[in-house]
Structure 1
Amino acid sequence: MTYRRVTKTDVDALREIVSADRVIYPATTHYDHDQFKQVRSLPDVAVQPQTNAEVAAILRYANEHLIPVTVRGNATGLMGANVPMAQGIDIDMIKMNKVLEYDPDNLTLTVQNGFRIRDINEYLADKPFTYIPAPAMKWATIGGNASTNAGGMRAVKYGTTREHIRGITVVMVDGTIQHFGGKTVKNSSGYDLRDLIVGSEGTLAVITELILRLVPRPPVNLDVLVPFVNVKKAISVVPKILQAGLVPAGLEFFSRETIKYWENYTQQPFMDHTGDGYLLVTFDGHDEAVVQRDLDKALQIAKDNGALAPIRMGDEAHRVAVWKTRNQLLTAIQQTTTAIDEIDVVVPISQIPRVLDKVAALQDSEQVRMPNFGHAGDGNLHIYMCKDDYSRAEFAGKVDRIIRQLYATARKLGGEMSGEHGIGFAREPYFEAYYGQDKVQLLQKIKSVFDPNHILNPYKVFPTVGPNRQANRSLDVNDIKPKQ
């Protein structure tokens, strides 16, 4: 059994399912990459459904004809999860972008897969509720966020995307439409298939609708930028803040080196030049006195542990400016190099400095620039590897060695391969070595129950046993370690 390539007959059949203007054949290069463009593969055809029924018909046809299917949102992913490595059909969800129901009585908002994070924020701007998860890429679709369980910058207090999805509507590979979860807060009714599919990167089913949890918008938001002599000193304060019973809404770290990239990118100075490491701390709530008290207590802890003079955001303009800086760090780094790759390991909070020590050592040994920043409050680091003047082959070798050693460090420290960007195609070769054959075999069984023909997003996340298995690039290793 092998995957089939799309033929003109298949295209004609797809044009019977959706209108001809929503079938792009042959597919254009718009569909062959994600944000990093490190992995490219062009689908045979792209289809833009608008309804659950259209998605169901597309999947039913693809499954019957063994045509692989990949789902795409706004392509803001970084690990190649949305890249159609087996060609076939690309389901472009961008036209499924409607609000289906706003339900303030149950604090939910139901939207289609292609609705963007920016759209959610704009829709709720004049309402008393907010959607909490705050990924930096506001043009990402909510369906894409759900597929990777993206965390964002408020996970330390509010949790990741998974905690804010009450229910989902999905289309199974045979075209049946299922609803998992709903508007209820509790559910102890058997296996939680909603949470299984959230984070599965499009390998089990196609998410078409999401019931999002809303919370009353905190009227008080206080932000402060806290400089330190270095990043490790800054991060050492984080456990002390949390141990004191304080729960910031956001707790980000970055270095002066990374800020310099932002200054060059925007051609404007950053608001502080006293430190080489920074914490960006946010407290929110509904009682200004309580929020201010908690912030002051956190600042006292920081001061007692070596913080330099903090910069309080005195008004909304300052708040917007400092968070805009944080959100633009990746873009600023990308502008400094010819290509970029990334690893987003997550470790226990207290172990972040040990990962940063390893990063520094690898920068020296591999002679690769590795700017980084991350979520100090939840242990998720974003570490970027810059190609600069290396050839493609040289860079690929260095990236492989760096990834192996960083994964070895993360695993030793009790961490995970990814905190929010997922595994996708780019990191699939390392999955079995990290988690072991037993876990992979269990995941393969789950995959086969949901997708017997393995047509959904082939060659992603973990080694599979479906058609064309030889195209999957998993490493035959027993451990994540440098090549000898």
Structure 2
Amino acid sequence: MNYNKISKEDLKELHKFIPDDERFITHPTEHWDHDQFKTVRAMPDLVIQPVTNEEVQNVVKYASDHHIPLTPRGNSTGLMGANLTIDGGISLDMVKMNKILEYDPDSLTMTVQAGIRLKDIQEFLADKPFVYMPAPAMHWATIGGNVNTNAGGLKAIKYGVTREHIRELKVVLTNGRLYKFGSKAVKSSSGYSIKDLIIGSEGTLGVVTEVMVRLYPKPKESINAIIPFPDLKHAIKSVPVILASGVVPTTVEFMGREVLNLWEKYANQEFPIKEGNGFIILGLDAFTKSEIQAELDQIIEETKKLDASDAIVLDADSDTAELIWKAREELLLAIQKSTPMMDEVDICVPINKIPIVLDRIEELEKEVGMRIPNFGHAGDGNLHIYLCSDSDSKEEFEKKGQKVISELYKTAKELDGNMSGEHGIGYARKDFYEDFYGEDYTELLRKVKELFDPNYVRKLCH
């Protein structure tokens, strides 16, 4: 299938659906040609910013009927190019669909439009007794983007990823119809869960317009602790030991001194802990202080066996705790600032296999001659691994990057892991997919895509 270019007649017809000139952008700027990484750039021919489900329905159906490429877009915090208009056409920018539609504490749900930012959800709930629990580091990401990548974040070990917190979705398919998948009810054994198929599909099956999220009562008590270790490997080895002890922390993050040095330069601040070269950051929450103290005592007892230094316990709202979490959340930006070009792999492996991945990263740094800083979610085995170009030319960087990415995917597959834990496949990694998961599995996914999008042609995936 060859996509059609947008004609003057198309512009005229599409403009009828979006009469507001400010939301019908015929001369897009570079704001719309990239994602967070800015590695690949692709300019849309037209940007449309809908504000209602009906507008989305009309635009999607017209684009499908006239074979015009259309790409949904959130707040451009993605890393794998899923929101890039590679074939031109329409960028369906959802950021103005950002309203809270219903706050229903009695059913522990809240319904929002897909373009609302996590930050805005958190601010709305700040003075209320409930919280939306998932905590991806990019607070300015949209909830629709989180749904489409099944984002994880810092609290996945205890509370699960985005999928576990979505009750219902409204989605526009290529036929222009608005479908409701899921319900406000907690349980369902009523046929296929199309809702869960949409979650993580990266916008390839339809356009998410509304999201009903699950709310949790705010924990009564919470604390943070950071535990220094002699090196990162000792820190990582402590995680299965902690979990086997019966404690389920809210958060278990790992980071090393090397990446923290980059953060200090980026933020022009000092990391408050000077002892140790590898760190585990723990978050604990419970109903009572005595519960938290018992869990923390258990963790300290177990980690001492692995040469841990004394745990530094922080009140969850203390200045030091806020600085430590600020450092963790800004690590990506710090690494990005340290290099002219960067790429990323976010493989996910069983938690006891993380040290094997770290060893392979060290080997690849020497084999390829590339700096590969990393950090991640120790509690769920999701590593964020960054490929830095430094003094390499673009051609050298791409060649080295292909080698490193291929080898890390090979390692993840050998360890029964996955290509991505949160950031998705997108345009950047599609060519690795079939090799990782196999032809039969990939063919099954293509059949699903054909069902949702009759215009889909398989050659576009190769």
Compute the TM-score of the two structures, normalised by the length of structure 2: 0.98
Relative contact order higher in (CA < 8 Å, ≥ 6 apart): 1
Aligned equivalents of 1:174 and 1:292: distance in 2? 55
How far off its partner does 1:244 sit?
1.0
Aligned position for 2:15: 15
Aligned position for 1:129: 130
2:391 is matched by which residue type in structure 1?
A: D
Aligned equivalents of 1:394 and 1:288: distance in 2? 54
Aligned position for 1:190: 191
Aligned equivalents of 1:244 and 1:292: distance in 2? 14
2:283 is matched by which residue type in structure 1?
A: T
Aligned equivalents of 1:165 and 1:8: distance in 2? 40
Aligned position for 1:2: 2
Q: Is the 8 A contact 1:254 1:278 kept in 2?
A: yes
Aligned-partner SS, 1:427: helix
Aligned position for 1:343: 345
How far off its partner does 1:184 sit?
1.0
Counterparts of residues 318-333 of structure 1 (less than 5 Å): 318-333=320-335
Using the TM superposition, name which of 144-153 and 295-304 deviates more: 295-304
Aligned position for 1:433: 435
How far off its partner does 1:193 sit?
0.2
Q: Is the 8 A contact 1:222 1:292 kept in 2?
A: no
Q: Which runs of 5+ in 1 are unaligned?
A: 455-463, 475-484
Q: Is the 8 A contact 2:272 2:320 kept in 1?
A: no
How far off its partner does 1:221 sit?
1.1
Counterparts of residues 285-300 of structure 1 (less than 5 Å): 285-300=286-301
Aligned-partner SS, 2:426: coil
Q: Is the 8 A contact 2:170 2:208 kept in 1?
A: yes
How far off its partner does 1:313 sit?
1.1
Aligned position for 1:453: 455
Aligned position for 1:214: 215
| Deviation by residue 1:134-190 (Cα, 9 ceiling, x = unmatched) | 000000000000000010010000000000001100001110000000111101100
Aligned equivalents of 2:318 and 2:278: distance in 1? 24
Aligned equivalents of 1:9 and 1:27: distance in 2? 19
Aligned-partner SS, 1:95: coil
Q: Which runs of 5+ in 2 are unaligned?
A: none
Aligned equivalents of 1:424 and 1:352: distance in 2? 24
1:318 is matched by which residue type in structure 2?
A: T
Q: Is the 8 A contact 2:100 2:111 kept in 1?
A: yes
Aligned equivalents of 1:349 and 1:121: distance in 2? 29
Aligned equivalents of 2:159 and 2:80: distance in 1? 25
Tell me the percent identity: 50
Counterparts of residues 224-303 of structure 1 (less than 5 Å): 224-303=225-304
Aligned equivalents of 1:389 and 1:7: distance in 2? 43
How far off its partner does 1:378 sit?
0.1
Aligned residue pairs, count: 460
How far off its partner does 1:133 sit?
0.5
- Does 2:85 correspond to 1:92? no
How far off its partner does 1:27 sit?
2.1
Aligned equivalents of 1:140 and 1:449: distance in 2? 29
Divergent runs of 4+, >6 A: none
Aligned position for 1:358: 360
Q: Is the 8 A contact 1:113 1:207 kept in 2?
A: yes
2:372 is matched by which residue type in structure 1?
A: M
Aligned position for 2:458: 465
- Does 2:372 correspond to 1:370? yes
Aligned equivalents of 1:102 and 1:288: distance in 2? 30
Aligned equivalents of 1:323 and 1:268: distance in 2? 13
Aligned equivalents of 2:52 and 2:406: distance in 1? 42
How far off its partner does 1:26 sit?
2.4
1:465 is matched by which residue type in structure 2?
A: R
- Does 2:383 correspond to 1:381? yes
Aligned position for 2:117: 116
Aligned equivalents of 2:302 and 2:323: distance in 1? 25
Aligned equivalents of 2:297 and 2:33: distance in 1? 49
1:443 is matched by which residue type in structure 2?
A: L
Q: Is the 8 A contact 2:255 2:280 kept in 1?
A: yes
Aligned-partner SS, 1:301: helix
Aligned equivalents of 1:326 and 1:144: distance in 2? 21
